[in-house]
């Protein structure tokens, strides 16, 4: 399956109810397209469970965008001629990273079970797969960075099959950095994707490893997430949002240059979705003082635009 080059950005990830219905969100999306040249917006509706060992995933509370505002925002994005990817993502309310969601592999009475969790996770994914189908979204990504769950191969295969019954576009799954070779069920998705948070000087080594996976499964590949904070030290640990340091716009800029240079030498990489873009933008001067992943108003923004423009010709 051939894929057009993906030039995307994740917009307002895990937005709470009401965020996407504000006029500022529409203004920000317009600015995102105009300033970066992105042709794709990724929306990540957030489901929540209490802890990493809870088996109920909720997506009907104030913590999650409403279906109506999600669909209206998708319609608006499409009116701007943006492609829309949907990636429903579960998070733990107690702050534990979703990668640590895990249960006993053999059922034990009175203990939470994989079967219970996957039943809830499947309901969560199918809810948004139906919206993706109704709104003609260009891709559905069945979750993100579920590292401890990925070995449950049969459950994932069944989930992907269930998604295909209601959504008829391309289906992917976003594994975490360093995990691309550990997923054994890539053959059942249309495109492989992962989170590309690799140290600035380690891209070639990691892409060599990922290339072996792509060759094995003969699937297209893109980075469903990638980025680096504008913080001193972040280029060495771009996956670590808790890095403490002064603002360094140049370190973020240089990380993007190195990452894109490495990607462009590999024609099997079919683009990237960057992390991330805020639903409300302040002044550019204010933005230059922010040390998180956003690129708005920072030197990295121009690097991204150049990369996306070159992507048309790759």
Closest CA to 312 of 38, 86, 43, 2: 38
* pLDDT one-digit tens code per residue, 266-313: 999 999 999 999 999 999 999 999 999 999 999 999 999 999 999 755
Closest CA to 244 of 258, 257, 229, 255: 229
Average pLDDT, integer, range 210-238: 98
* pLDDT one-digit tens code per residue, 25-44: 999 999 999 999 999 999 99
- Rounded Cα gap, residues 254 and 249, in angstroms: 9
Helix then strand count (H, E) for the chain reads: 8, 10
Instruction: With cut-offs at 50, 70 and 90, classify the pLDDT of residue 263.
Output: very high
Average pLDDT, integer, range 214-230: 98
Per-residue pLDDT at 311 = 73
- Rounded Cα gap, residues 207 and 211, in angstroms: 6
Per-residue pLDDT at 2 = 61
Instruction: Report the relative pairing of strands 40-43 and 221-226 from DSSP bridges.
Output: unpaired
- Rounded Cα gap, residues 59 and 89, in angstroms: 10
- Rounded Cα gap, residues 40 and 269, in angstroms: 16
Per-residue pLDDT at 3 = 77
Closest CA to 173 of 134, 219, 238, 133: 219
């Amino acid at each position: 399956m051939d894929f057009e080059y993906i030039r995307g950005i994740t917009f307002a990830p895990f937005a709470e109810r009401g965020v996407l219905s504000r006029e500022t969100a529409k203004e920000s999306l317009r600015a995102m397209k105009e300033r970066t040249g992105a042709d794709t917006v990724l929306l990540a509706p957030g489901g929540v469970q209490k802890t990493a060992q809870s088996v109920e995933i909720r997506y009907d509370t104030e913590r999650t965008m409403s279906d109506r505002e999600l669909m209206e925002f998708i319609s608006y994005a499409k009116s701007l001629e943006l492609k829309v990817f949907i990636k429903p993502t579960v998070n733990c309310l107690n702050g534990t990273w979703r990668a640590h969601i895990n249960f006993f592999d053999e059922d034990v009475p009175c203990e939470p079970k994989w079967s219970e969790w996957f039943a809830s996770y499947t309901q969560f994914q199918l809810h948004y797969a139906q919206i993706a189908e109704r709104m003609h979204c260009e891709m559905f990504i069945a979750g993100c960075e579920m590292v401890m769950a990925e070995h449950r191969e049969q459950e994932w295969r069944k989930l992907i099959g269930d998604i295909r019954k209601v959504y008829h576009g391309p289906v992917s799954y976003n594994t975490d950095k360093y995990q691309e070779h550990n997923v054994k069920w890539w053959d059942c998705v249309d495109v492989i994707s992962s989170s590309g948070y690799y140290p600035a000087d380690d891209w070639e080594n990691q892409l060599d490893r990922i290339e072996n996976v792509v060759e094995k499964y003969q699937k297209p590949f893109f980075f469903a997430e990638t980025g680096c904070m504008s913080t001193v030290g972040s280029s060495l640990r771009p996956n670590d949002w808790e890095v403490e340091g002064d603002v360094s716009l140049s370190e973020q800029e240089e990380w993007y240059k190195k990452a894109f240079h490495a990607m462009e030498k590999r024609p099997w990489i079919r683009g990237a979705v960057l992390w991330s873009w805020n639903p409300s933008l302040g002044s550019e001067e204010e933005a230059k003082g922010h040390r998180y992943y956003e690129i708005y108003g920072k030197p990295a923004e121009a690097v991204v635009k150049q990369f996306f423009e070159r992507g048309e010709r790759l």
